[in-house]
Amino acid sequence: MRVIIGKNNGFCFGVKRAIENAFSLQGEKRFVLGEIIHNEDVNDKLKTTGVEVVQSAQDDKIKSGDTVLIRTHGEPKETYDLLNAKKVNVVDCTCPYVKEIHSIVEKRHKDGYTIAIIGNKNHPEIIGINGWCDNSAFICENEQDLEAISADKLCIVVQTTFSEEKFDRIIKNFSRNKVKTVDIFKTICYTTTKRQKEADIISRRCDAVLVLGGRNSNNTNKLFEICRLNCDNTYRIISPKDFDYDKIKKFNKVGIVMGASTPDEQYQEVMSYMANVTEEIITTETVETETAKVAAETENVTVTATPTETAEEPVVAEQPAAAAKSEMEEAFDKIKPTKDLRIGQIVKAKISSATDAGLTLSVNNAKVDNFELPKEELLTENYNKEDYKDKIGEVIRVMVIGKKPLKFSEKKMEGVLKEEAEIEEIRSGKIFEAQITGTNKGGLTGKFGSYDIFVPSSQIRLGFVKDLEKYVGKSLRLKAEKVESRGARRQIVGSQRVILEAEKAERDAIRAEKEAEFFANVQEGDVVLGTPVRFAAFGAFINVNGFDCLAHISDLSWTGCKECSDILELGKEYEFKILKIDEENKKVSVGYKQLQPKPWDSVLERYAVGDVITGKVVRIVSFGAFVEVEKGIDGLVHVSQISNEWLENPVTALQVGQEVTVKILDINVEKEKMTLSIKALLPEVEKPVKDDEKTKGKKGGKNEETEDGPELHEWKDDVSGGVSIADILQNSDK
């Protein structure tokens, strides 16, 4: 199976920025106005960090000093006013393209224009835009809605994620009979346009298409509509794990399309469910070639005209929405003669003519005309000079890319403006990534766009870096310590150390908080649930409510063990008893065996005095031998109970490891002692007695007479020491 995906799948720049900011919000109470993006998984993960979603700035939960994030969709002007009045910390992540629409609408509304917004009336972006013209805008979802508007001056903007094809159709069919002046701003995000073109191509190429995105994602729904028009086997996927992948096994080519609020992890998750696949990425060149075959592009151009009092037809001005002005753009109105122009400068120029090779331009205050703007340097993907017949006189922004002769580029101008916008974010503290390309005596060097990167040795990591070369070719996360962009010098001095220090401080704070909570809720003797996380020769480390406790190996089993793994399994949950707490040194000892029954507790259920059992000799000492009755229970065979003969040393009769049969003479559960005898099971040895002593008894070595004659008192052996046969014979002689 071949899987085909677009180059512009997944998070767009604005969404990525908003999510990064949301997950790094600081403060005790943190809020987001509405879901950060239309993706359930991302929203669920964000909630676990303590960030709370509220639907309005009027929510009573928001207090002075709290942190509130405004998502990419933007908010009405009154929201900003309310948040400022509450004195909260505002993190504004409104998409730059949406912010530009706010500016357009606010300015045109003040100038007396009626505002029309093309898009989904219930979408938060539309609601936000409408709030910048006192909620007076007409929300239009089709040609009929737009046609119903009557106004002297009309300003038309469009939702950034709206279908480009549908917008072009609405504008084309707009008769303009009821208005005198119309300003049309095609404010569809360029990323949205690219996604829709890629979706169109993929769905035409493939046998089946999977469209990934949140349930409420407007741009994902648009992509689904585009794909469904071209491919009958188009499936909408909210959660990758819930989709039945058997549906697509029979297809040779499957396309995957992702909305702007879909994380890359979901694409990887989908791929993990599909076996034996080959991945193919739609390139920009493919999009340009195949789009040209499908339909002619509607250009995003600027046409300016001045209305007159006698004009019967409305005056139309179609203009692209621009990102917020950078420092470079502020100089547009102060252009010097061409001899003072420098390569890299952005200027305003007027279109003089259109040829097969491109456009010719005239620059303000220049003494010569007809400067070249090659078609390859236009933002237009498919150049056609006929499309520019009505654009002569339009003022556009371009960058100087050559001086002899003077040449301009619209593409490079757009790239620089984007870079400058990103540099401003970096200047404000945004974390960015840069590739390290080399070293010098002071640290590491690299590139970020047109900017040189320098990372001092002391700012690479928390500790000392001895070998700088190992970082070459690697990507570092950096935070700008200094940004220089004056003249030809464009450099960022960055630090990875400050990021690592901040992350460590955050981890330490979280750990300290967890430790304090842990020690406040445990005491010696408590029984707790814990999970073994790692083993050592001396014991096991047990995670109890996020805190690592030590279970010494001697506290794992009553019968002892050589390895912790003999008793416990990593990752499995067990009950442990808190044995000792040392809060000052942050140490806690726990035991596992203390909650398990001791072998001696039930010994009387299995053994009784007089029982004959088999055991193994495990230890020999001078006074006897210890026999293992079962694991954890040993019994003593005193030297006097090993044999009928006198033994000076037990080793003459027994050896370690030998199996023996013994008789239980005594069991003392309290002292955990068992007395055993081998001799008790041996045949009795007949004691020699003299003829003249047969009828006499002895006691203390003296004969005793009774009425019936002399009485014989038998000498009994003591199990603890006993009397030898030699002693008996010696006493009998006396």
SS (H, E, C) 123-185: CHHHHHHHCCCCCCCEEECCHHHHHCCCEEEEEEEECCCCCHHHHHHHHHCCCCCCEEEEEEE
Coil/strand/helix, residue 268: helix
N-to-C CA span, the chain = 109
418 φ, ψ (degrees, to nearest 5): -65, -40
Beta-carbon contacts of 372 under 8 Å, excluding residues fewer than 6 positions away, are 357, 358, 360, 361, 405, 406, 407, 408
β-pairing, 539-544 with 491-495? unpaired
**Nearest-CA neighbor of 280 among 685, 600, 5?**
5
Residue 555 and residue 630: Cα distance in Å, rounded?
20
3-state DSSP assignment of residue 492 = strand
Token duo for residue 303 = 């046409």
* CA angle 177–180–185, rounded 5-degree value: 95
At 237, which helix (H) or strand (E)?
A: strand 234-237
**Measuring CA to CA, which residue among 118, 214, 110, 197 is closest to residue 153?**
110
Bridge partners (DSSP) listed for residue 406: 403
Out of 75, 125, 164, 297, pick the active-site residue. 125
d(CA 591, CA 600): 19
Question: What is the DSSP code string of 282-339?
Answer: E-HHHHHHHHHHH--------------TT-SSPEEEEEE--PPP-TTGGGGGGPPPGG
- Three-state SS at 503: helix
CA distance 730 to 128: 118
* Both structure tokens of 399: 């960058």
Question: Over the range 36-57, which residues count as b (16 or more CB within 10 Å of their CB) and which as e?
Answer: bbbbebbbebbeeeebeeeeeb
Report yes or no: 87 and 5 within 8 Å, Cβ to Cβ: no
Task: Outline where DSSP puts E strands in 496-596.
Answer: 527-536, 539-544, 547-552, 574-582, 587-591
Assess contact for 297 and 186: CB atoms under 8 A.
no
Instruction: Indicate the SS3 state at residue 474.
Output: coil
Burial of 498 (0-12, 13-18, 19+ CB in 10 A): middle
- C-alpha atoms less than 13 angstroms from C-alpha of 299 in its C-beta half-sphere: 17
Question: Looking at residue 248, what DSSP letter applies?
Answer: G
Spatial neighbors of 244 by CB under 8 A, at least 6 apart, are none
Residue 125 among the catalytic residues: yes
Closest CA to 4 of 204, 163, 233: 204
Question: Which run of H or of E encompasses 438?
Answer: strand 432-440
Report the catalytic residues: 125
